[in-house]
Amino acid sequence: EAMSKLTPRVYQGAKLVDDKDHPFRAPGPNDQRGPCPGLNTLANHGYLPRDGVATPSQIISASMAGFNMDIQAAKLATYIGHLLDGNPVTDLLSIGGKTSRTGPDPKGPSKVSGLRTHGTFEGDASMTRGDDFFGDNFNPNRKLFDQLKEFSKRYGGGYYNLTVARELRYHRIKQSIDTNPTFELMGHRHFTAFSEAVFPTSMFVDGRVSGPLAAHLDMKPAESFFMNMRYPRGFFRASKPGSADAESIPVVLGNDPTRVGFQAGRNVRGVKTFVADGSQGSLFSICTFYEFFVGKRIKGIYPNPTGVLRRNLNMNLQFLFDSLSDQTNCTQMFPYGRD
Ligand code: HEM
Ligand code: MG
């Protein structure tokens, strides 16, 4: 009671975000940009440092300020990314590739190589970015964006909506299975792939739109975000905190378990050899993801941390667990002991 009176209330509705304090400026040659159209847009408008190197708190705050992203979703994505690709000692993460701006690397097999590193957060079958196997996993891909437009025409009357998201999501998975011998959709990539298909409907649509066109993304703003990574002129952020949730995810997933990609898995012997594999977790088993991620992935890149590194890893693992515990009751793991 006393606390709530002291805590300032944060406005969680629509507002102009393409404002005079946040003008678009194209990135310079040393500015880091990566595979996320949302984060790139935030950096291009100065909601994030324009060099594309930021702390987890800055990334969470910017996603909330600039897109009204739901706080739990912002935290989950940020700490998955930071633990895999960031520097836990300097608390800096590149939204693009490797850079000396994140400071000296901690000892050990960790790479600290930024969000565009394939096989970390970034994975295959992205809607508008190519698979790493084909050489470029982060720049906007014109052919793939044209395909998104074609699907929006065919399934959404010219708009990208949840029906389009479902059809395009499966189509991209099928395309990758058929052409990419190294195709993989495992662990968190299985649920981020489905979540990211929802995001354009919840966060790229202008917050003043309501009624039948709510959650329907027009192709002009779609092009602005996916290809130019720039707010459409005068853009208002969403009218309520958004991400992908218990209503939207099932729509995109659909109810056809025979559809390839419905389950996590990978090509095991070249193209068209997809085998379901839930050993790293999936949309259906978030706790398996959590156990694999903490016990194998993070422990693998930081086997024996000491000092500040250990302390900060423990803090980031706590934040990751907290961001999950809203919707799950996984058992917390302490791979480096408790403080
Ligand atoms: C994709 C990270 C917030 C929209 C991605 C990818 C990464 C990423 C690493 C690449 C995955 C892949 O496709 O291979 C993050 C992090 C965030 C964040 C750490 C921190 C909160 C946002 C926000 C939005 C957004 C606020 C929207 C406003 C998207 C979309 C894709 C994507 C639509 C899919 C792109 C595609 O498939 O072509 N994100 N993101 N993200 N992100 Fe973000
Ligand atoms: Mg990708």
Q: What is the ipTM of this complex?
A: 0.97
Query: Going by CA atoms, what residue is nearest to atom 40 of ligand 1?
Result: 36
Residue 279, helix vs strand vs coil: coil
Look up tokens 């809203």; give the residue. Answer: 326
> Does the Cβ of 116 fall within 6 Å of ligand 1?
no
> Does the Cβ of 47 fall within 6 Å of ligand 1?
no
The ligand minimizing its distance to the Cα of 196 is: 1
| C-alpha span between 229 and 158 (Å, rounded) | 21
> Does the Cβ of 38 fall within 6 Å of ligand 1?
yes
Query: Going by CA atoms, what residue is nearest to atom 13 of ligand 1?
Result: 126
The rounded Å distance from CA 4 to ligand 2 centre is 41
pTM above 0.95, yes or no: yes
Tell which atom from ligand 1 comes closest to the C-alpha of 120. 9
| C-alpha span between 161 and 168 (Å, rounded) | 10
Half-sphere exposure of 233 (CA within 13 A, CB side): 0
Classify each residue of 7-45 as buried b or exposed e, where b means 16 or more C-beta atoms within 10 Å of its C-beta.
eeeeeeebeebbeeebeeeebeeebbbbbbbbbbbbbbb
> Does the Cβ of 197 fall within 6 Å of ligand 1?
no
Closest CA relative to residue 113, chosen from 125, 123, 127, 102: 102
Q: What's the pLDDT tens digit per position in 190-244? A: 999 999 999 999 999 999 999 999 999 999 999 999 999 999 999 999 999 999 9
Q: Which of 18, 39, 92 maximizes ligand 1 atoms within 8 Å of its Cβ, making it the mutation to test the pocket?
A: 39
Closest CA relative to residue 63, chosen from 191, 227, 242, 223: 242
> Does residue 76 have a pLDDT over 80?
yes
Q: What's the pLDDT tens digit per position in 156-194? A: 999 999 999 999 999 999 999 999 999 999 999 999 999
